[in-house]
Structure 1
Amino acid sequence: MRKVNLKESFNLFSDFWSPKIVGEINDSYVKLAKFSGKFNWHHHEHEDELFLVINGRLRMGLRTGDIDLEPGEFIIVPKGTEHCPEALTDECSVVLLEPKSTLNTGNIINERTVHDLEKL
């Protein structure tokens, strides 16, 4: 077992939209990611995702209406739900809880797709 200091862990990287693994719980990863600007619309056929905002502000674009999140707030995006995360500040730091099978770009493969996640 080990403890994870979020502030120290977020300071270990500066790239955006590239989740890093900081822990495992059952069949899921705990990931850290920094967001800047807008991501791509996508969905995950088989996985729910939890987004917990640590710093900055996040807009979760949804076809049914956007939801804005402040630090200390989280949203769970159910599997099959099309969504588009967007940082509303220059940088937004987020903790993700996702099944290990989750690909960051879901059903879309492009230059932002990360196949091999770095472990911190």
Structure 2
Amino acid sequence: MESLQRIDLHETSKAVAGSYANVPLNLVNDHIIRISIMTEPFYWHYHPNSDESFLCLEGVLVIDLEGESIELHPGQLFTIPRNVLHKTSPKGGRSVNLTFELEGMETVRNVL
């Protein structure tokens, strides 16, 4: 990741093949920005040392929490505080979103 570079989100998301990709794009201070392309659900998990923000770019991103589900549409942002159990999945065939999180974020897998 180089600084002072233009990143084309549409080109990056088109170039990704497979059912899931989480590609680092850039560092901002001690946080990392990633683009996530999903065609299948990600497992239940939480992050003990970082909040995680999602910005939906394409499709619909479903964020399941223990008591509710949130649907993010393009242009919508949602932040999950640290230690909150969640699972993400695309609604329909594919979703593309940006995530903003601490660079050294830990992910703890959990089974409900």
**Is the structural similarity TM-score above 0.5?**
yes
Normalised by the length of structure 2, the TM-score is 0.88
Q: 2: distance between equivalents of 1:20 and 1:58?
A: 17
Q: 2: distance between equivalents of 1:22 and 1:16?
A: 19
Choose from 66, 80, 102 the match for 1:77.
80
Q: 2: distance between equivalents of 1:37 and 1:13?
A: 14
Match of 1:5 in 2: 8
Q: What letter is aligned with 1:85?
A: T
Task: Give yes or no for contact 1:16–1:33 (8 Å, CA) kept in 2.
Answer: no
* Secondary structure of 1:10's aligned partner: helix
Q: Structure 1: which 5+ runs fail to align?
A: 110-120
Are positions 1:35 and 2:48 aligned together?
no
Match of 1:94 in 2: 97
Residue 54 of structure 1: how far off its partner (Å): 0.5
Q: What letter is aligned with 2:89?
A: E
Q: 2: distance between equivalents of 1:16 and 1:75?
A: 23
Task: Give yes or no for contact 2:46–2:83 (8 Å, CA) kept in 1.
Answer: yes
Root-mean-square deviation (CA), in Å? 1.5
Q: Structure 2: which 5+ runs fail to align?
A: none
Identity over aligned residues, as a percent?
21
Number of residue pairs matched by the alignment: 107
Q: Which has the higher strand share?
A: 2
* Secondary structure of 1:67's aligned partner: strand
* Secondary structure of 2:11's aligned partner: helix
Match of 2:60 in 1: 57
